[in-house]
Amino acid sequence: MMTLKTELTLPAAGLSGFEPPLAEEEAAIQAGVHRFAREVLRPLGAELDRMTAAAVIAPGSPYYGVFAEFAKLGLDPFALAELPPDMAVRIESLIGEELGWGDSGLAVSLVVAGFPVQMASIVGSQELVDLCTGKIGCWMITQPDKGSDVQVFDMAREWAPGQQGNKGNVWGRIQGDEIVINGQCSAWVSNGAVAQVALGYISAEYDGSFFEKDGRPHGMSVIIPLDFPGVSKGKPLDKLGQRALPQGEIYFDNVRVPKRFAVALRHEYYGNMASAWSFAGTHMSQVFTGVARAGFEHALKYCHERKQGGTRLIDHQLTRHRLGDMLRRVELCRSVARRSLAYARQSPATHPYVTAAAKVTVTQEAMKVVDEALQLFGGVGTSREYPIEKLYRDARLALIEDGENYVLTMRLGLLAQQLYAEGWAQD
């Protein structure tokens, strides 16, 4: 049914754009996280961006304060999960977007920090929950020789015939009641340089073999305390963007953890890994919606200040078109991010290639918005005195982070092939 208005007014627009009315509780959470993003994440992210990677993780670095400040918000993911499903999705989206609007590097760091405790809780191990609570966590899945290959599930369609899969550089072997871990993860593990506990997805040897019958590597998912003997860390990664997010290698030299620290062994591995990756992908989409919005808002403000052609930039039709195009893309990011989150949380059978596809759309749109924002700033956009160049660098990493975008898009095509073979889209 049409909604009838008797007067033409401006549309209702809030922090998250053209948002249908939020419940009181939702609006309060959004306002609280926005305050945190504005007062804590933005200034801290800008400060850490200018520090060396070593200084960011040094004892006494302002980086560590973010966890206590975030905890003050009292956002409990388990309490949120108890809310009606649509509301839980909306609130999770609102939170992720505000965090990304504040600083994407810190937004990723905060969520990854809680990854191990979330997994511990979902598998129902109080011992692991106690072990992970209050610690900085990381999600350790990629390795020096195994980047995009961690996403290979369908050996028949995706791998060279007759060849074994990519075993990577970290593996575990069960010995009695223990798992013995050796190798090293990639330098890109978010929080790797500061993490106290890892949710590790590593290759595994079962019955003397590292491979399933079709050549797919066996795996295990294990919670690994990073203060155990045999664990060491590499240098923190010095990188282009998201510099507030400490990344770095972790090495394992005959590290022994109790077998009960495994959260998925053998046949449960790929399902568990797919769930963790879907979780990561949905968060990426919310965060980079926030980045797109931040780029748009900076540009909108600047266009009201800068004069060229005898008037403010905003008064030119060309500028309005460019801003309109950016705003349209921000709304697109938000819609895609929310739909993928709802699918991941509510569908009985989800898949990480689906959530990853949303991450591709959102990060590519965010990149376009931030790029255009920089263009609207003109020469000053390239200066470190203005916030745009940092957003540009932050967004650029997201095209590779949590899966490289071309490969993820190729895998969405693979998914279409797999579904078609099962009868989908044939009517």
| Binding region for ligand FAD (CB under 6 A) | 112, 139-142, 147-148, 186, 188-190, 242, 397, 400-404, 406-407
Residue 265 vs 395, nearer CB to ligand FAD: 395
Q: What angle do CA 158, 142, 46 make, to 5 degrees?
A: 130
272 close to 346: Cβ distance less than 8 angstroms: no
Residue 91 vs 147, nearer CB to ligand FAD: 147
Residue 287 vs 323, nearer CB to ligand FAD: 287
Distance CA 192, CA 176 (A): 29
Residue 83 vs 159, nearer CB to ligand FAD: 159
| Residue 43 CB, nearest approach to ligand FAD (Å) | 21
| Residue 242 CB, nearest approach to ligand FAD (Å) | 5
| Residue 5 CB, nearest approach to ligand FAD (Å) | 45
| Residue 357 CB, nearest approach to ligand FAD (Å) | 15
| Residue 267 CB, nearest approach to ligand FAD (Å) | 22
Residue 146 vs 329, nearer CB to ligand FAD: 146
| Residue 178 CB, nearest approach to ligand FAD (Å) | 24
| Residue 29 CB, nearest approach to ligand FAD (Å) | 26
Residue 29 vs 200, nearer CB to ligand FAD: 200
Residue 280 vs 342, nearer CB to ligand FAD: 280
| Residue 168 CB, nearest approach to ligand FAD (Å) | 11
Residue 111 vs 303, nearer CB to ligand FAD: 111
| Residue 136 CB, nearest approach to ligand FAD (Å) | 12
DSSP collapsed to 3 states, the chain: CCCCCCCCCCCCCECCECCCCCCHHHHHHHHHHHHHHHHHHHHHHHHHHCCCHHHHHCCCCHHHHHHHHHHCCCCCHHHHHCCCHHHHHHHHHHHHHHHHHHCHHHHHHHHHHCHHHHHHHHCCCHHHHHHHCCCCEEEECCECCECHHHHCCCHHHHCCCCCCCCCCCEEEEEECCEEEEEEECCCCCECCCCCCEEEEEEEEEECCECECCCCCECEEEEEEECCCCCEEECCCCCCCCCCCCCECCEEEEEEEEEHHHEEEEHHHHHHHHHHHHHHHHHHHHHHHHHHHHHHHHHHHHHHHHCEECCEEHHHCHHHHHHHHHHHHHHHHHHHHHHHHHHHHHHCCCCCHHHHHHHHHHHHHHHHHHHHHHHHHHHHHHHCCCCCHHHHHHHHHHHCCCCCCHHHHHHHHHHHHHHHHHCCCCCC
Q: Which residue is nearest to ligand FAD (CB)?
A: 147
Residue 103 vs 401, nearer CB to ligand FAD: 401
